[in-house]
Every structure is written in C-alpha cells, then in structure tokens.
Amino acid sequence: MQAPPTLTPSPTEPTGASVARRSQAVLPRGGQGPDGLPSHEGKLRYEELKPLGQGSFGEIKLAHDNDIDRLVAIKRLKSGLEAGEPLARFMDEIQVVGQLEHPSIPPIHDVGLDERGYFFVMKYIQGDTLEHIIERLKAEDPLYAQRFSYKARAELFLRVLQAIQFAHEKGILHRDLKPENLMVGPYGEVMVMDWGLAKRIGSAEVPGGAGVLGDDQRNSTRMGTVVGTPAYMSPEQARGRLDQMDARSDLYSLAAVFYELLTLDHYLTPKLTQEQMLAGVIVEEPLSATQMHHRYGIPPEFTFFLRKGLNKVPEARFQSASEMAAQLRAILDGDVPVQCPCTGLKAAGNRWFDFIDAHPIGAIVATLVLSMSAAYGAASFVGDMISDLMP
C-alpha cells in the first residue's frame, strides 16, 4: 500500500513558524492579548508528558490536549524514519485505524504535522496489557486470580475476537496480535492496540526495513521477509509467505494468545533464539487437548477449542472470527460439544438443566419416578440378600 501523495511534504511546503502554528492550541485561555483579542498564551495544542512505548518504527507518548483538557496518546515516527517505507506504513496505519470505529479499537482523534514531522493522536487507554495480567496470574497474585477466573478470561478473549471479527469484515488484518497489544481497562473494557502492521486483505505489501527491535527477539516485532512477532505468528507467517496470510493467520495468533492466557505458558516448548521460535511455529505440534487438560487443569472444552485454533493447516482451523467467537460463546453458554468422556458428561448434564428450565413439572415427575425406581431396586436387592441368608 502506498501513502497518498498529498501526505508527503513538497519541496515548497512552508516550514518553521507556519508549521509550528499547526500544532498550537486554538481555544482562548482567558484574558486578552495586546491586540485586544482573546489570549491563547502561546500554548502547544499537545503537550507531551512521558513515553508510553515504542514499536518497530514508531514511538508513543502521553500528552495533554490543552484545547480539550484531556490526556491523549501521540504516535510519531522515530527519528530518521520520517520518509520512504516507514512513512508509507505510518500513513497507512492512520487510514486503517480511522476506518475501524469499534468500542474495542482505540479511535484516532487527530492527525498533524509540526516541526518534528507527522503525528497522530489517539485515545489514551489506561489499564493492564494481557502480558501483565499473565505475569500477575503466574505470580499467583490473589487480586488477579480472583478477578480473572477461567470464565472471565474466556469472556475477555471473546471481546477481543469480536473486535477482530469487525476488522476482518472491514477487510483488515492485524498481523501482530500478542498479549502486549491487548489491553484490559479498569472496568473490564478490552482494547486491541498497535495496528502498525495492519494490512488490507488482498492489497500489495508495503516493504519494510529488516531487523528486530528489543532485547527479547522472540517476542519483538520483526520486519522484512517475515512480518510480525515470532512467538505469535502463524506457520505461513513464520515461513515469510505473506501472500498466503488471511483472516485465519490472525486467528492462529489469537489461539496462541488464548492458550497463554489460560495455561500461563507459551504453547511451544521454550526457545532461546528467534530462529528456534520460527522453526517451532512451523513444525512443532502443541500438546493434545487431553494433555493440556491433564497438565494445566483447564476445562476440556477449552482445550479442544485451543487445539483447533492452533492447527498448522489453515483449512483445519477456525475459518473466520465469527465461527471462532460463536463456538466460544456456545461453550460459555454451556452448549459443550461432545469430544471426550468429560465433555460428554458436561453436555448431558447441561441438556438436563435445559430440560428442567423448559419443563419444570416434567423434570420433577421424572426425578420422582427415577428416585422411586432406584428405591424399589435397592429394596428388592436387599430383600433378595436377606432371603438368601435365611435358612
């Protein structure tokens, strides 16, 4: 995808004071200036406060919006990356996120240009990343353990799926889904962050610079032949077959995230290098559904769900986010598919509870008949035993 030509500064574009004015606050601050007009006090519209994070080519800072009087997040390109391919990706991210108006996708408030280059302004999201939540659960933090039961984690993940379903239906792939890019707010709101590697389905690839940023190369976003974060890539993504990536690649990444959220472990055995991680994603099979259940104690209906999501063959995975969300919703509602003896018992029990809800009188009668039959059978058995013992 190429950036619109109008977004690239021309050689004759004004610089200096004229550019700086585009970043100044416009609402009066009270009082009058020397010309008798309302004073603006020369404040910048966005006053940057502290760094929030950085990605492959961008950095995000917390800022104060002096016009609206609120905290916002500002994303800029890193120094030295303000042109060419990084700028094309940056502008594409703006346009992609701008089309995704969904409660779980942070909205863009503004786009600007100042003496430091292009920037865009987003809603400031407060809360925990899934990465932090997993760390606290692993540390057996009682507050997090109480708040994030298996069911609560599944409900949380369902909201992530619904956001990705919305993006896919708009024709957008995320391509970098991982615990670090998913946030949970203080009131349970869920946000899918960092759409910097997003791509319109079927569009041409924007070339990226080679290399990996960050100390832990297994969990850092890689650009170049392979795009994404190795630990959460789909097999086709890890092979560098970007032309084969579709919605099912994002769903594989989400299955890897959900596995870690439930088990507190990555789905592959530990890897020391990026190359080992990429090879593991391509060829190493995760635990079977039964092994997951016995090792981690998570409900079996979730382990079969995860095993399908982590299938190496795209055709054997969930085929859409809507299908994946519908199956998870059914599990949460008690409609458990029969896939093993445990899920069979759960399914039978849930159907009995449904019968009770729909036919309470019939359920009472059936219970009484079964109880009387059992009592009669027990009495007959005891009577036969007594008869056998008597001379």
Residues with active-site annotation: 176
Report how far residue 257's alpha carbon sits from residue 72's, in angstroms, rounded to the nearest whole number: 27
Report how far residue 172's alpha carbon sits from residue 199's, in angstroms, rounded to the nearest whole number: 6
- For residue 155, count other CB atoms closer than 10 A to its CB: 16
Read off the tokens for 119: 């920037």
Report how far residue 192's alpha carbon sits from residue 129's, in angstroms, rounded to the nearest whole number: 10
Phi, psi of 192 (to 5 degrees): -95, 115
Q: What are the residues whose beta carbons fall under 8 Å from the beta carbon of 82, sequence distance 6 or more?
A: 117, 118
Rg of the chain over all Cα atoms, to the nearest angstrom: 28
**Strands in 115-229 per DSSP E:** 117-123, 128-129, 172-173, 182-184, 190-192, 199-200, 211-212, 222-223
Report how far residue 255's alpha carbon sits from residue 260's, in angstroms, rounded to the nearest whole number: 9
Q: What are the residues whose beta carbons fall under 8 Å from the beta carbon of 40, sequence distance 6 or more?
A: 24, 25, 26, 27, 28, 29, 33
- Bridge partners of 222? 212, 228
What sign for the dihedral angle of Cα 265, 269, 270, 275? negative
Alpha-carbon distance values, 296 to 107, 144, 390 (Å): 37, 18, 54
Q: Which long-range contacts (CB under 8 A, 24 or more apart) does 50-54 make?
A: 54/78, 54/213
Read off the tokens for 96: 């992609």
Report how far residue 126's alpha carbon sits from residue 362's, in angstroms, rounded to the nearest whole number: 51
